[in-house]
Amino acid sequence: MTDDSGGRTTVTHRAIEEIKHKIAAGELAPGQRLPTERDLATELGLSRSSMREAIRALTVMGVLEARHGAGIYVTRLEPKDLLETFGVVAEISRGSSLVDLLQIRRILEPAATAIAAARIDEATLETVRSHLDRMAACERVEDIIAADLAFHQTIVGAAGNPALEAIVAGLSTRTFRARVWRGHRDAGALGRMRLEHERIYRALLARDPEAARAAASVHVSEVEDWLRSNIGEWD
């Protein structure tokens, strides 16, 4: 029996590329309904099975969405949708691969925090402060994690770059934060973690981009150092 899975994969890849090309060329716009599977297959000279697999793959990627009873549509193509699978990579990475991802966060998050310091408004500052106060008041680790996640997401969101926001969010998932906070609790270092967050907030309050960058860099570097010293738990 001949195994033609490689051939099917190649044809499916071509189908994916053809649909992506139509979107990039403006032939299919955000929110627009795709032609039927049969019509697309006929137009592109591909099998319906390959087209079906391509549509399924692009749906997982966040490029297309299935609307019950209405067909397949191009999504709004917003970064948070397209980069959603990026968070899956961070969730399942182990050992040195996770350190590699955290290094990317160490590059991006301080830059986002610096931009936020120059742009953040009073209302957003108050929101950041409220998350910081929640972190200090919480006793359950789960509540601390939620406040921590909201703290960082609000700050990165204030930078005004949705793509950057989506990438940073994907690099630090709730599962990863839970492991870090629990590890620091066991090591008796929660006070230091809260102080690092306070320094980030103070830099934002002062509208000082370089101080904000430095405070965020110290914070992420500390998390990276902790991960390196506990890497065996993540293999």
- Where in the chain are the domains? 5-76, 82-234
Q: Is 79 exposed, middle or buried (0-12, 13-18, 19+ CB in 10 A)?
A: middle
Cα–Cα distance, 231 to 235 (Å, whole number): 7
What pLDDT is attached to residue 186?
61
Report how far residue 174's alpha carbon sits from residue 180's, in angstroms, rounded to the nearest whole number: 10
Backbone angles phi, psi at 74, to 5 degrees: -70, 135
Is the pLDDT assigned to residue 232 strictly greater than 70?
A: no
Query: Residue 134's pLDDT is what?
Result: 93
In percent, the amount of the chain with pLDDT more than 70 equals 84
Kindly tell me if the per-residue pLDDT of 187 is higher than 60: no
Confidence category of residue 151, pLDDT binned at 50, 70, 90: very high
Q: Pick 172 or 78 by higher pLDDT.
A: 78
Q: Which residues pair with 66 in a beta bridge?
A: 72
- Please state the rounded mean pLDDT for residues 14-19: 94
Contact 107, 187 (CB under 8 A): no
User: Any idea which fold 82-234 has?
Assistant: Four Helix Bundle (Hemerythrin (Met), subunit A) (1.20.120)
Is residue 88's pLDDT more than 80? no
Do 155 and 128 contact (CB within 8 A), yes or no?
A: yes
Distance CA 182, CA 189 (A): 10
Locate tokens 């930078």: which residue?
159
> What number is the average pLDDT over the span 20-25?
94
Q: Which residues of 13-50 are buried (b: 16+ CB within 10 A; e: fewer)?
A: eebbebbeebbeeeebeeeeebeebeebbeebebeeeb
CATH fold group of domain 5-76 = Arc Repressor Mutant, subunit A (1.10.10)
Confidence of residue 2 (pLDDT cuts 50, 70, 90): very low
End-to-end Cα, the chain, rounded Å: 39
